[in-house]
Amino acid sequence: MIDLFSGLDAWVLVSLLLALTFVLAFEFINGFHDTANAVATVIYTKAMPPHLAVFFSGVFNFLGVLLGGVGVAYAIVHLLPVELLINVNTGHGLAMVFSLLAAAIAWNLGTWYFGIPASSSHTLIGSILGVGLANALINDIPLADGVNWQKAIDIGASLVFSPMAGFLVAALVLIGLKWWRPLSKMHKTPEQRRKIDDKKHPPFWNRLVLVMSAMAMSFVHGSNDGQKGIGLIMLVLIGIVPAQFVLDLNSTTYQIERTRDATLHLSQFYQRNASTLGEFLALGKSVEGDLPEKFRCNPQQTEPTISALLHTLKGVSDYHSLPADSRIEVRRYLLCLDDTAKKVAKLPGLEAREKADLDKLRKDLTTTTEYAPFWVILAVALALGLGTMIGWKRVVLTIGEKIGKQGMTYAQGMSAQITAASMIGLANIFSLPVSTTHVLSSGVAGTMVANKSGLQGGTVRTILLAWVLTLPATVALSAGLFWLASKALGS
């Protein structure tokens, strides 16, 4: 790993280390900010002692990051428009990364300090959107092109609907448990259990389910939220030391050939559908240059881009053999081809089978650009795992006692945790970032309603206020910081 950074100018190396520290600090804060939600129920119900719950939650968060892949990581990265991703420039990368991280860390720390279960996912996404919009304003790009709005809509939908679904599903699970075992001890609160049964802990089977669901939630939290840190580090590395990280230099000969074959098959795909796509892609027409000025992708320059990519990759079996500038060009070509393929897939006239083929070609195209070195995954896993072991107390009380007018029963805790773990795990399958905080707190609220415990208006309003304000606050903060940083670099 160390050899990747050899030969860098001192200021670039210092900037890189500082940026990596910022990202790992964000993940560390994310650990003690969000993981309180993962262990809140199991601690409140006394199913596990706090020190054990937090320790094992940290371990499972660590494992979740290690085993979670990079799908969610690049879903976050692709919130930025492709034009911003292919404009590789050290100063630009520094401004982008420090702006969005400073905004995200400031908001996370503020909400944690006041014990508000705010979402790190919302925070990060708002910060990224702010950078994209500010970049559009600075460079006279239409705001419609300043952010990958389709990806933003997809992620926004998952962030909006997952808490609603969590509320409903957790309520239904609790109703099912009350119907199945209406007189069970699982419907007691920890306080009732202590006073009536003179027992400190939940009944054995309830305790087992609470512990297992808490660890499952910690695992899926790591595999979802941890990937956001991985995506941030890849933005840092590509933006500051592009020559080493724009492509996976450890790609095998087979992976490179797979990328080259996908490019060739993509060309054949477009020719096969020329009657439908010919005008959109300007097939067979002469277009000057391989890419537009200012690194803007243009579907009408797809054919020259394919030709340039095939020419550059001809005879290449190891990316190390490519000069640094050629690696940057290859990534630029691949990202533009992928961006165009996404647009083509939305055009009317293509059969479903053809769209499925195009989706497979896109995956092959990006196999050597959407990656993360193992040391990056390990660093994020450690930061998130260690952060988990600190700072959990402030949010536990909010989740356990301040959402409903009565304390949480064991059945409510099980219902909320099982629902949250299942929904976040499902989001991981579809590479969609969701908010652990909002899924769990809405699940708890759903069980309070189903249990007829009532909701504490003040706490619910505070959580909703944080939910509503997080996006606009972080968008404004990161946009302002990016504008200031860009002006400072430009002066």
- b vs e for 144-182, b when ≥16 Cβ sit within 10 Å of the residue's Cβ? eebbbbebbebbeebbeebbebbbbbbbebbeebbeeee
The model carries a pTM of 0.83
pLDDT at 478: 92
Instruction: Report the candidate in 257, 486, 460, 448 with the shortest Cα–Cα distance to residue 365.
Output: 257
How far is it, in rounded angstroms, from Cα 246 to Cα 240? Answer: 10
- pLDDT of the residue at 403: 55
- The pLDDT value recorded for residue 323 is 92
> 3-state class of 157 per DSSP?
helix
Burial 373-393 (b: 16+ CB within 10 A, else e): beebbebbbbbbbbbbbbbbe
Alpha-carbon distance of 194 to 199, in angstroms, equals 5
255-259, Cβ contacts within 8 angstroms, sequence gap of 24 or more: 255/367, 255/368, 256/313, 256/316, 256/317, 256/318, 256/319, 256/368, 257/317, 258/364, 258/367, 259/313, 259/334, 259/364, 259/365, 259/367, 259/368
* Residue 84 near residue 454 (C-beta atoms within 8 A): no
Contact 467, 88 (CB under 8 A): no
Summarize pLDDT for 89-134 with one digit per residue, the tens: 666 667 787 888 889 888 878 877 776 666 777 888 888 889 888 8
List the chain residues with pLDDT less than 50.
290, 292-293, 400-401, 404, 491
pLDDT of residue 491: 45
Q: Residue 391 has what pLDDT?
A: 58
Q: Are 101 and 485 within 8 A, CB to CB?
A: no
* Six token digits for residue 107: 């908001």
d(CA 413, CA 190): 11
What pLDDT score does 292 carry?
Answer: 46
